[in-house]
Chains A and B, each alone.
Chain A
């Protein structure tokens, strides 16, 4: 049983396409994190959100706490967006991670 489920696992898109990555979680949380991991390993925090929507450049994250669901959208995707995107749900002293969505954007 995974506390955090992501879909899709793999995603290939043409440059310019609108991309959506979904995250569902079963644990009670007050905030959800979206992380980005580029080839080579480094992980960067993109968003931490507890309600509604946040936007940063071409990235938009939404969350519905009641439905325990979050989405990460990328508008006008670019090859440099190619990375693994991970959602993470903190609860108590634990962090539950999804297994990640591997995104490849083709020029």
Chain B
């Protein structure tokens, strides 16, 4: 079974803190994605990566950065957390090929609250 794990299920941080969200997949997938999910807005793509050290902006990259130093690990960084970044964050991975045509496998999500 494909397994995508995220470092925390719940996280509470203060405004201005630097926040790291980690995602690890064990299926040797090339593509990895970070989404946020908000009520009424659905899933929105923040960043994705199709190879080690490669990254591309999604729909809402402002206030976020990412790092992919190893194939299995994709980190989302909130440089200076703000209250409007309170959300559910979901990581996903998919098999080879640049693009998102292949089935995506999702992690359990991290519910981040910024106070």
Contact = CB atoms under 8 A, between A and B. Distances in A.
Given A97-B42, A98-B42, A100-B42, A92 B111 contact: no
Contacts of A71: none
A45 B2 CA distance: 12
Contacts of A35: 106
B86 interface: no
B40 A99 contact: yes
Contacts, number: 57
Contact of A93 (B99, B102, B108, B111): B99
B104 interface: yes
A2 to B, nearest CB: 9
A66 to B, nearest CB: 19
Contact of B106 (A30, A42, A93, A99): A42
A105 interface: no
A3 to B, nearest CB: 11
A94 B100 contact: yes
B56 interface: yes
A41 B90 contact: yes
Contacts of A94: 45, 58-59, 100
Contacts of B103: 33, 45, 48
A90 B95 CA distance: 14
Contacts of B99: 90, 92-93
Interface in A36-91: 40-45, 48, 86, 88, 90
20 contacts: A30-B101, A33-B103, A35-B106, A41-B108, A43-B90, A43-B106, A45-B104, A48-B103, A86-B42, A90-B99, A90-B100, A93-B48, A93-B50, A94-B58, A94-B59, A95-B43, A95-B45, A97-B44, A99-B41, A99-B42
